[in-house]
Amino acid sequence: MIISDRNMPVMDGIEFTRQIKKNPNCKFVPLVMLSNEQDEDKISEARKVGISTFISKPLNEKQLKKLRLLRRKTVSSR
C-alpha cells in the first residue's frame, strides 16, 4: 500500500499516482490519497487515475480502521 498526499511540492498526488501506475510492478498496489480537499471533482479525478481510497484530513478513527482493513487485504492477497 502507498499513502500519498494530494498536495505536495514538485509533483501533486495525481501526477505521482500516474507515475506509479506506469510501473508494471506497482499496477496492483493500492494507493491511498490523503487530502484536505472536499471537492467531489478532485476526488473523482483521483479515483480515475487509480487511487483506491481517498481520505480527508484530519484523519479520524473510522478512517484509520479503513486503512488497516485495506492493508490487511493487501497483505492477505500476496
Q: Where are the domains of the chain?
A: 2-76
Which amino acid type is present at position 77?
S
Count of CB atoms situated within 10 Å of the CB of 13: 24
CATH code of domain 2-76:
3.40.50.2300
How high is the pLDDT of residue 24?
Answer: 93
Evaluate if residue 60 carries a pLDDT over 90.
Answer: no
Pick 5 or 59 by higher pLDDT: 5
pTM listed for this prediction: 0.76
Rounded CA-CA distance 38/55 in Å is 10
